[in-house]
A and B are shown apart, each in its own frame.
Chain A
Amino acid sequence: MSGYLGSYATLGLLIVVGALVFVGAFSANRLLSPSAPNPAPDKYRNYECGLDPVGGDWAQAQIRYYLYAFLYVLFAVESVFLFPWAVIYDRPEFGASAVVEMGIFVAVLALGLLYAWRKRVLRWT
């Protein structure tokens, strides 16, 4: 393999070797850890500062996590457009137009940030 796929094959090899290392380490852990541990009754309860856990195994997050994740998606999209723009914006064929276009794009998304700011979404309470 050479060139394009070769570069990525190396990356893939790294991930495969990494996975192998972890599998080996986990099996070593299985061999090395105590085989007959003390079977205390409450040992496998989850940790609640020494109290007995109360309630079900539910997980319920607050809405603000969702909003922050949404803002993250918004600005992740913005950054993936900024990346290719950053390597071509100074080509002479674009002149100032590419910069102006990106300025509009950023400004519209900044409006979203401003809206969230004014609506106090950005204030973590």
Chain B
Amino acid sequence: MKYLAQDPTLANFGHDVWWLVLIKVVAVFALLLVLTLFTIMYERKVVARMAVRPGPNQVGPNGWLQSLMDGMKLPFKEEIIPITADKVVYFLAPVIAGTCAFITFAVIPFGPMVSIFGHRTPLQLTDVPVAVLVILAATSMSVYGIVLSGWASGSTYPLLGGLRSSAQMISYEVAMGLSIVAVFMTAGTMSTSGIVHAQAGGAQANWDIFGWHPQAPSWYAIVTLPSFVIYAISAVGETNRAPFDLPEAESELVGGYLTEYSSFKFAMFYLAEYIAMINVSAVGATLFLGGWRVPWPLSLIDHGVLNHSWFGLIWFLGKVLIFLFGFIWLRATLPRLRYDQFMRLGWKVLLPANLVWILILAGIKTTQRTPTGNTRWFVIAGVVVVALIAVFLWPEKKGPEAPSTEQLEEQLAQLPEGSFPLPPLDLQVPPSPRLQRLTGQREPATVGGGTDEKEN
């Protein structure tokens, strides 16, 4: 018996009976809620382990019910709406944030065709030819939840947090949208099930190792590696996660756009934030990591028996959890970026790199079609040479000119009386004590030696 996973095509969608659709909708909701609760605990446990502490361990077995309890507590809390708030928009903002977060999973494929109560149906709520656009549209709508919540609170810190957060989201949305273009170019379709199908298997290589024809890698994470890197970075920026968690930089902005929210509305934002994280992980797994298909060495077992029906769900969830682990790992490891560094990364690095990569990919793909192999290599070599020349001839970055001592003294003289005391102007950084121990006989450093008279 052959267990070939049957790929759903677009023709398989939109024909389900109504109760099946309802079951799927409820299942998607349930899955997302459970995944959210799980992710919160997953994050806390992993971060705790990386910081060598126990983490939450009181509620439930090993503390695994902590996030559920936290979530159940919030509706019992009193709701405090500031008097300056715009009540209608204040109410709408969390609803927009929450609803937009749920849309993405409507078009995420969880597995191949399965049979539920005797009905053959794809393990996916729905799919359309432009499914990835639906996801991007939902993401761009979720900016409203943030900018409106910040504005409607009628308070300074939420407003700043909301503006910064939305500027951040739109900046990284550009990079994210463009990184997906390479996937479309390789897959030739925009439907999520089609993209998973296109990653089913690479072409057989025409060279062989002792009679074994290795398959070319088929995951777009490998085939379009630059896109995957850009997607991963922009996904972190898009979801406002560390190290890009500037909107809720607690030392600068109190709590960001949701400072004035309490009770269940706060829970709603929290939910939306974590679902957004799960969303980008699921989209990344679908577009770049082969979706519900079993990873490579396992896929060889018995002609892909592990791709059959409900097995897909396991691989899909596994890939999502690996993606989420990456998010958590980043948070546990990296310090927060400054806002200008963050914007520079988005607009000056990710975006130009993305555009160049798309054009290079298009050039390579177009030349691959030409029958003569030589021109192809000439074109590729030309592109590489041009890129190298561009890198070498790139104008050196001029650092900001160090102000002269006279300028500094002039500035100092302009300071009003009673300003903060300043360190001496030519302060030398003392060498690290460890260095001293190593070299042993170094002269003691002159710290700000002979500058006292200059200060006056």
Direct A–B contact in the complex, CB atoms closer than 8 angstroms? yes
What residues of chain A have their CB less than 8 Å away from a CB belonging to chain B?
A: 1-11, 13-15, 17-19, 21-22, 25-26, 28-29, 32-34, 37, 43-49, 53, 57, 59, 61, 65, 68-69, 71-72, 75-76, 78-79, 82-83, 86-87, 89-90, 92, 95-96, 99, 102-103, 106, 110, 113, 117, 122-125
Interface pair B76/A13, CB less than 8 Å apart: no
- Which of A7, A10, A113 makes the CB contact (< 8 A) with B351? A113
Q: How many A-B residue pairs have CB under 8 A?
A: 204
B339 contacts partner chain A, Cβ-Cβ < 8 Å: yes
Among the 9-residue stretches B62-70, B228-236, B257-265, B326-334, the one with 4 or more Cβ atoms under 8 Å from chain A is B257-265
* A83 to B263 alpha-carbon distance, docked (Å): 41
Interface pair B369/A82, CB less than 8 Å apart: no
CB distance from A34 to the nearest CB of B (A): 5
Contacts of B84 on A, CB cut-off 8 Å? 46, 53, 57
Give the most central of A19, A26, A106: most B CB within 10 Å.
Answer: A26
Among the 9-residue stretches B53-61, B127-135, B207-215, B411-419, the one with 4 or more Cβ atoms under 8 Å from chain A is B127-135
Interface pair B126/A10, CB less than 8 Å apart: yes
Contacts of B157 on A, CB cut-off 8 Å? 47-49
Interface size on B, residues (CB 8 A): 80
What residues of chain B have their CB less than 8 Å away from a CB belonging to chain A?
A: 13-16, 21-22, 24-26, 28-29, 75-85, 95, 98-99, 102-103, 106-107, 125-128, 133-134, 140, 151, 153-157, 159, 163, 167, 170-171, 173-174, 177-178, 181-182, 184-185, 188-190, 254, 259-260, 263-264, 268, 339-340, 343-344, 347-348, 351-352, 355, 358-359, 362-363, 365-366, 369
* A71 to B170 alpha-carbon distance, docked (Å): 9
- Which of A15, A47, A53, A123 makes the CB contact (< 8 A) with B103? A15
With A10-B21, A32-B75 known as contacts, the answer to whether A69 contacts B174 (CB < 8 A) is: no
- Which of B126, B128, B362 makes the CB contact (< 8 A) with A102? B362
If A83-B190, A123-B344 are given as contacts, then 14 extra A-B residue pairs at C-beta distance below 8 Å, sorted by A number, are A2-B14, A11-B107, A17-B29, A19-B99, A28-B75, A37-B78, A46-B155, A48-B156, A65-B167, A72-B170, A75-B178, A76-B174, A83-B184, A95-B366
Interface pair B174/A72, CB less than 8 Å apart: yes
* A9 to B344 alpha-carbon distance, docked (Å): 42
* A30 to B153 alpha-carbon distance, docked (Å): 20
* A86 to B75 alpha-carbon distance, docked (Å): 47
Interface pair B188/A87, CB less than 8 Å apart: yes
Interface pair B263/A86, CB less than 8 Å apart: no
Give the most central of A18, A86, A90: most B CB within 10 Å.
Answer: A86
Interface pair A83/B14, CB less than 8 Å apart: no
* Top 5 A-B residue pairs of the complex, sorted by shortest distance between their CB atoms: A6-B14, A46-B155, A86-B184, A29-B264, A124-B340
Interface pair B167/A99, CB less than 8 Å apart: no
With A79-B177, A83-B184, A86-B184 known as contacts, the answer to whether A6 contacts B103 (CB < 8 A) is: no
Interface pair B181/A7, CB less than 8 Å apart: no
CB distance from B409 to the nearest CB of A (A): 25
Interface pair A18/B98, CB less than 8 Å apart: yes
* A17 to B23 alpha-carbon distance, docked (Å): 12
- Which of A44, A76, A90 makes the CB contact (< 8 A) with B82? A44
Contacts of A49 on B, CB cut-off 8 Å? 157, 254
- Which of B75, B80, B365 makes the CB contact (< 8 A) with A44? B80
* A49 to B251 alpha-carbon distance, docked (Å): 11
Interface pair B167/A2, CB less than 8 Å apart: no
- Which of A7, A46, A92, A125 makes the CB contact (< 8 A) with B13? A7
Contacts of B21 on A, CB cut-off 8 Å? 10, 13
Interface pair A4/B184, CB less than 8 Å apart: no
- Contact sample, A vs B, 29 pairs, CB 8 Å cutoff: A6-B16, A7-B14, A7-B126, A7-B128, A10-B13, A10-B24, A13-B21, A13-B22, A14-B28, A14-B106, A18-B102, A18-B103, A22-B268, A25-B264, A29-B75, A32-B75, A34-B76, A46-B85, A46-B155, A47-B259, A59-B151, A72-B170, A72-B171, A79-B181, A83-B184, A83-B190, A87-B185, A87-B188, A123-B340
When C-beta atoms are compared, the residue in chain A nearest to B85 turns out to be A46
Contacts of A96 on B, CB cut-off 8 Å? 366
CB distance from A17 to the nearest CB of B (A): 5
Contacts of A6 on B, CB cut-off 8 Å? 13-16
Interface pair A82/B181, CB less than 8 Å apart: yes
Contacts of B340 on A, CB cut-off 8 Å? 123-125
- Which of A3, A32, A47, A59 makes the CB contact (< 8 A) with B254? A47
- Which of B95, B362, B365 makes the CB contact (< 8 A) with A22? B95
With A14-B103, A87-B189, A90-B369 known as contacts, the answer to whether A71 contacts B347 (CB < 8 A) is: yes
* A101 to B16 alpha-carbon distance, docked (Å): 42
Interface pair B362/A46, CB less than 8 Å apart: no
CB distance from A125 to the nearest CB of B (A): 7
* A90 to B107 alpha-carbon distance, docked (Å): 26
When C-beta atoms are compared, the residue in chain A nearest to B259 turns out to be A47
Interface pair A7/B127, CB less than 8 Å apart: yes
- Which of B79, B85, B99, B177 makes the CB contact (< 8 A) with A18? B99
Interface pair B102/A14, CB less than 8 Å apart: yes
